[in-house]
């Protein structure tokens, strides 16, 4: 049941115009008062449709507690397990790429 709920969440949050990082390991996670900063190993944004001040990091703003907790949990699980993630982005947040969906493969 949890896998179905997770799949539904990811499917509903998918944006057709979003860019994706490709599978990358997490280099840094930094919790801040308004969200979480994430940097992936060997990633620099090359998608011309999304250009931010800083194109090598992601920011997940705290907006909805459920969405935020789900994404942060997935990021922490991947980081602790040393597993790569694939994240989507389609805009900027505080100068960084705005972290959208998180996919674990």
Given a cut of 50, the residues of the chain with pLDDT beneath it are 4-12, 14-15
User: What pLDDT sits at residue 1?
Assistant: 54
User: What pLDDT sits at residue 27?
Assistant: 98
User: What pLDDT sits at residue 64?
Assistant: 82
Structure tokens belonging to residue 2: 């949890």
- Give the C-alpha separation, 27 to 91, whole Å: 21
CATH code, 63: 2.40.50
Contact indicator for 51, 45 with CB cutoff of 8 Å = yes
Q: Can you give the pTM of this predicted structure?
A: 0.80
How many domains does the chain contain in total?
1
Range of the domain at 51: 2-104
Q: Residue 58 contacts by C-beta under 8 Å, 6 or more apart in sequence? A: 37, 38, 39, 40, 87, 89, 96, 97, 98, 99
User: What pLDDT sits at residue 11?
Assistant: 46
């Amino acid at each position: 049941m949890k896998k179905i709920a997770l799949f539904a969440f990811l499917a509903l949050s998918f944006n057709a115009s979003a860019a994706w990082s490709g599978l990358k390991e997490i280099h840094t996670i930094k919790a801040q008062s308004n969200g979480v900063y994430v940097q992936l190993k060997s990633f620099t944004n090359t998608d011309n449709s999304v250009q931010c001040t800083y194109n090598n990091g992601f920011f997940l703003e705290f907006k909805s507690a459920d969405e935020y907790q789900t994404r942060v949990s997935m990021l922490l699980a991947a980081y602790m397990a040393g597993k790569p993630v694939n994240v989507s982005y389609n805009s900027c947040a505080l100068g960084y790429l705005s972290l959208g969906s998180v996919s674990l493969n």
